[in-house]
């Protein structure tokens, strides 16, 4: 992870020199390693300080709290790794290839979650606890997908309001839930074996099929009413 070139000072307003930039990057690297370490359940300021071999007070020189540190780690990774499924969504899906395009999008979205499984699960856990900044990030990330899905159905490209976007919100909620379970081995372990196998691929296939059916239906409704 590269250093953030836009950060010039610490929280005390002191200009960051070479040592300060190295320390800040050391904190970010330690935080990311801690988040992605499957053997570690504790993600806290003190845990990051131990991983970075720094004092807790050193962390607070650069980050006011844990959510701020987490988002600083999260946002550039999300921006880099969501490119594939957003690129699929940004191009129009013709009727004759709609099923194929829906399946490709669902698979790409699932791959995005697998690449960032601990980051995304931790984000959602923090959001579920109503950590406002993390919740806002989750909502903004979801809205990107919802708005593009609504446009695939024929929704207006300004305002993002109407039944197309209502339906897109419902579809996205289902999709996120499916990939959440599919990428959470601990959660899947609580399901009966025959249900666990579904999340190895069958549910993704059906999610793509559901998406195709919903888009075809909404396009037909718009064509009839128009």
How does pLDDT run across 107-143, given as a tens digit for each residue? 999 999 999 999 999 999 999 999 999 999 999 999 9
Give me the residue label for tokens 């379970």: 181
Checking if the pLDDT of 38 tops 90, the result is no
What pLDDT is attached to residue 4? Answer: 53
User: Across residues 15-29, what is the average pLDDT?
Assistant: 86
Which are the contacts of 202, defined by CB distance < 8 A and separation ≥ 6? none
Domain segments of the chain: what residues? 1-64, 72-225
Nearest to 146 by CA among 163, 130, 169: 169
What pLDDT is attached to residue 46? Answer: 95
What is the Cα 138 distance to its own chain's centre? 7
Distance CA 141, CA 78 (A): 9
What pLDDT is attached to residue 5? Answer: 47
Checking if the pLDDT of 11 tops 50, the result is yes
What pLDDT is attached to residue 215? Answer: 98
Give me the residue label for tokens 């128009």: 226
| Ramachandran class of 172: left when φ > 0, alpha when ψ lies in -120 to 50, beta otherwise | alpha
User: Across residues 1-24, what is the average pLDDT?
Assistant: 67
User: Across residues 198-212, what is the average pLDDT?
Assistant: 92
What is the Cα 106 distance to its own chain's centre? 14
Q: What percent of the chain has pLDDT over 70?
A: 93
Distance CA 145, CA 142 (A): 5
Do residues 174 and 207 touch, judged by C-beta distance below 8 A?
Answer: yes
For the chain, the average pLDDT equals 91
Checking if the pLDDT of 2 tops 50, the result is no
Distance CA 187, CA 180 (A): 9
CATH 3.40.50 fits domain 72-225: no
Nearest to 89 by CA among 108, 74, 75: 108
Checking if the pLDDT of 1 tops 50, the result is no
Tokens of 67: 């959510």
Tokens of 46: 């003190």
């Amino acid at each position: 992870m590269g250093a953030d070139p836009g950060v010039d000072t610490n929280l005390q307003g002191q200009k960051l020199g070479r040592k300060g930039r190295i320390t800040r990057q050391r904190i970010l690297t330690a935080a990311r390693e801690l988040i992605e370490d499957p053997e570690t359940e504790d993600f806290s300021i003190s845990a990051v300080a131990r991983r970075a071999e720094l004092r807790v007070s050193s962390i607070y020189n650069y980050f006011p709290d844990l959510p701020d540190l987490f988002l600083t780690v999260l946002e550039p990774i999300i921006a880099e790794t969501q490119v594939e499924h957003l690129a699929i969504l940004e191009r129009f899906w013709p009727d004759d290839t709609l099923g194929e395009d829906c399946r490709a999008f669902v698979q790409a979205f699932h791959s995005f979650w697998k690449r960032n499984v601990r980051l995304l699960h931790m984000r959602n856990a923090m959001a579920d606890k109503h950590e406002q900044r993390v919740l806002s990030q989750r909502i903004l990330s979801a809205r990107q997908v919802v708005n593009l899905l609504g446009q695939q159905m024929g929704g207006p490209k300004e305002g993002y309001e109407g039944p197309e976007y209502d339906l897109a919100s419902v579809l996205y909620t289902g999709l996120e839930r499916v990939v959440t379970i599919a990428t959470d081995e601990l959660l899947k372990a609580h399901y009966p074996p025959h249900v666990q196998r579904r999340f190895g691929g069958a549910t993704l296939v059906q999610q793509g099929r559901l998406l195709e059916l919903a888009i075809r239906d909404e396009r037909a409704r718009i064509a009839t009413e128009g």
